[in-house]
Amino acid sequence: MTDLSYDEFQRVDIRVGTIIDVQEFPEARRPAWKLWIDFGEEIGTRKTSAQITNYAREELMGRQVAGVVNFPPKQIGKFMSECLTLGFPDADGNVILIGPERPIPNGGRMY
């Protein structure tokens, strides 16, 4: 593992946003959802695909999550991903989303 300076870490823009739309992504190579996340007035809504099929659509709608908003867009099949939703794998390899423990305004930056 390579050490990362604090200045390098600060370049990664991690914000909180609320999932406002969830759609199926049948064209994905691995099962995934298409997500639209509201990151607040400054950033707006960004879309992404996420391999989080351990969550039902109803569990995702309205959920606050953490995401990286300053990576370049990435083409995933016919879908352009504009952010990276963050999570950790559990013991079974399912991704568990990261989000605040209490509601906070969309767009809040992680420090």
Q: Indicate which CATH number applies to the domain containing 82.
A: 2.40.50.140
- Write b or e for each residue in 5-38: b if 16 or more Cβ atoms lie within 10 A of its Cβ, otherwise e: eeeeeeeeebbbbbbeebeebeebeeebbbbbbb
93, part of any domain: yes
Per the document, the length of the chain is 111
107, part of any domain: no
Query: In terms of C-beta density within 10 A (0-12 exposed, 13-18 middle, 19 or more buried), how is residue 53 classed?
Result: middle
Q: Which domain holds residue 18?
A: 13-97
109, part of any domain: no
- Mean pLDDT for all residues in the chain: 95
Structural domain total, the chain: 1
The predicted-structure confidence for 12-38, as pLDDT tens digits, reads as follows: 999 999 999 999 998 888 889 999 999
Phi, psi of 90 (to 5 degrees): -85, -175
Percentage of residues in the chain having pLDDT higher than 90 = 87
Q: What's the pTM value of the predicted model, to 2 decimals?
A: 0.94
65, part of any domain: yes
The predicted-structure confidence for 40-50, as pLDDT tens digits, reads as follows: 999 999 999 99
84, part of any domain: yes
Q: Above 90 in pLDDT, residue 11?
A: yes
64, part of any domain: yes
6, part of any domain: no
